[in-house]
Every structure is written in C-alpha cells, then in structure tokens.
C-alpha cells in the first residue's frame, strides 16, 4: 500500500510513478501509518514508552473498553459521506494525472 501511494504521489507531481523518490515513499508511509519519524527510536525511554502505549506486555490480558455508541446516526452518515467525497476527489486527481502523462507521451 505504501508503494502504491508513493507511485500516486510521484504521478501527482508529474513524475514517472516507477521512479518514485524516498521522499515520496516517506510521505506515503506517513500518510498511511500516521508515523512521522523514520527508523526506530534509539533512546531506551522512547522504546519503553512505545511499548507501554501499545500495551504489548507479554502475557497481559488487557481490559475490555466500554462500548460507546454514536449519539446520532446522522453524524455517522455525514462522516461517511465526507470520506466518500474525499476519496472521490483523490481518485479524480490520480486519474487526471494519469491522463496528463498519457497525453504528454
């Protein structure tokens, strides 16, 4: 998925999608994972913090979170519609970039 998005980023920048750059890949990775850093943390405190955030202590059963239902179905519908519009706009930009590249040769 990261590679596919990196190709899209290169195409949107009017470059050959097969020649995406490391910056394209990093941007794609950041967009898809939400991670801003490259590489792993070197500081032991950062490593410990990242483990405790994930709750990845071996043998830990965890606790069940309380189920929270949406207050209003209209809010959920609105969010879904907004996401659909955003995805459609993204798809249109990608297709337009593909068409531009085809026309330019």
Are residues 37 and 85 part of one domain? Answer: no
- What pLDDT was estimated at residue 37? 53
Are residues 49 and 78 part of one domain? Answer: no
CA 83 to chain centre: 14
Closest CA to 22 of 42, 3, 44: 3
What number is the average pLDDT over the span 52-69? Answer: 65
Are residues 45 and 78 part of one domain? Answer: no
| 3 state SS of 37 | coil
Give the pLDDT confidence of 11-22 residue by residue, as tens digits: 999 999 999 999
Considering the chain, what is the average pLDDT of its residues?
A: 79
- Residue 61 falls within a domain, yes or no? no
- Residue 59 falls within a domain, yes or no? no
What whole-number distance in Å separates Cα of residue 93 and Cα of residue 25?
19
| 3 state SS of 29 | helix
pTM: 0.38
Are residues 82 and 41 part of one domain? Answer: no
Please state the domain count of the chain.
Answer: 2
Domain span including residue 31: 1-54
As given in the structure block, the two tokens for residue 92 are 């249109």
pLDDT at 39 over 90: no
Are residues 42 and 10 part of one domain? Answer: yes
- What pLDDT was estimated at residue 70? 63
């Amino acid at each position: 998925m990261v590679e596919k998005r990196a190709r899209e980023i290169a195409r949107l920048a009017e470059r050959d999608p097969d020649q995406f750059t490391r910056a394209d890949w990093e941007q794609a990775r950041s967009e898809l994972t939400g991670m801003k850093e490259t590489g792993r943390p070197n500081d032991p405190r950062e490593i410990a913090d990242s483990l405790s955030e994930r709750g990845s202590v071996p043998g830990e059963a965890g606790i069940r979170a309380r189920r929270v239902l949406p207050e209003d179905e209209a809010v959920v519908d609105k969010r879904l519609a907004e996401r659909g519009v955003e995805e459609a706009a993204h798809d249109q930009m990608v297709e337009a970039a593909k068409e531009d590249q085809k026309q330019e040769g």
